Amino acid sequence: MLHEAAPAKVNLFLHVTGKREDGYHLLDSLVVFAGCGDELTVTASDTLTLQVCGPFGATLAGEGDNLVLRAALALAAATGVRATGALVLIKNLPVASGIGGGSADAAAALRLLARHWGVPAADDVLALGLGADVPVCLAGQAARMQGVGERLGPAPALPDFGLVLVNPGVAVATPAVFRARHGGFRLQADLPDAWPDAAALVATLAACANDLEAPAIALAPVIGEVLETIRTTPGALLARMSGSGATCFALFATAKEAEGAAEKLDRPGWWSWGGGVAARAIAT
């Protein structure tokens, strides 16, 4: 059995910088990966199958167009192999939550099946065909993401810090959030080469924003409630929504502080996690 982690993607900021003629928006974002996520395994099989389980598995049960299967079929077509393998997806992350669960799962499938089938790793073109967040999830490490998701560059050197994630149990559709967005476009963020500590990181991020936060709150006001709750949690240095929502995050000075804060944020219907940032996706 082979195993691949699918860590949660967190947009520390997300600027909408323009719009292409085909309707796709241009973005500028600093992406990190949390120390939590979904898990994907594969064992030998004559056919390609997918079993979904875990805390949020029921949400995807019976879904015929799961991104994991789409990724498997795309990789098989690109490499000329027959798609086989018994895949098991342990769904630990909320669905449609702005932390790249589906994209991370697809990326994990591409990494996992390349090893399982003994074929070359998927490239960013194949990954982008599965979704805008799949290329950065395929790389599985902190990155500066621009364009429609296809332009990836190194992230500034990050200091140690803690991260809390909170989802209020509502799914927010990304297209609907973009449609609800009004106003012009924002400039790309000016980032240093490195941050010496969490306070310096927060100072930079405070001058940035998530341009999808306001429209997401308009569609799901509970997101505003989550933000206010985590913003006023002792030790929180900055609170913001990730991606197109509804998951929000707060930064803390240490992973231990974040773990303690997450334990105090337990609410009926809410999902929360606290800890550190993953260096990169882990395979076993």
Element (H, E) at 204: helix 198-206
A 10 A CB-CB count for 136 gives: 28
Q: Measured between alpha carbons, how far is 95 from 245 in angstroms, rounded to an integer?
A: 10
Active site residue 133: yes
Q: Which of 9, 28, 38, 91 is catalytic?
A: 9
Q: Measured between alpha carbons, how far is 72 from 70 in angstroms, rounded to an integer?
A: 5
Q: Is the dihedral of CA 94, 98, 99, 101 positive or negative?
A: positive
One-letter amino acid of 132: A
Angle (CA) 26-142-161 rounded to 5° is 120
Q: Measured between alpha carbons, how far is 40 from 86 in angstroms, rounded to an integer?
A: 10
Q: Which of 38, 105, 133, 211 is catalytic?
A: 133
Distances (CA, A) of 38 to 41, 106, 195: 10, 11, 29
For the beta sheet containing 271-275, the strands, ordered from the edge strand earlier in sequence to the opposite edge, are 238-241, 248-252, 162-167, 271-275
Residues marked active site are found at 9, 133
